[in-house]
Amino acid sequence: MKAVITVIGHDQIGIVATVSQRLAALKVNITDISQTLMHGDFTMMLMGEWDDNDVKFEVVKQGLLDLAKETGLSINIQRQELFDAIQKL
């Protein structure tokens, strides 16, 4: 399974580490990552990949929703196949 994950929030120390640690705990491998600061706000987009037989999409999504609540960040996840389908239109 591949998914695009976005993280947005007020810049603070440890955002990348915190998100990376949660993804590792969920057995998600980060295959690509981009981050920047925009007027004091942190933005990150990454591609995550994992074995859907080991961990279901809903489990990863809930883990990230929990992290968003814990940190005050906006974290969203979408299946890569959604982007692939849109591109074919």
Q: What angle do CA 25, 27, 33 make, to 5 degrees?
A: 95
What pLDDT, in 10s, does the model give residues 38-80?
A: 998 999 999 999 999 999 999 999 999 999 999 999 999 999 8
Report the predicted TM-score, pTM, of the whole model to 2 decimal places.
0.90
CATH architecture of structural domain 2-87: 2-Layer Sandwich (3.30)
What is the reported pLDDT for 89? 66
Where are the domains positioned within the chain?
Answer: 2-87
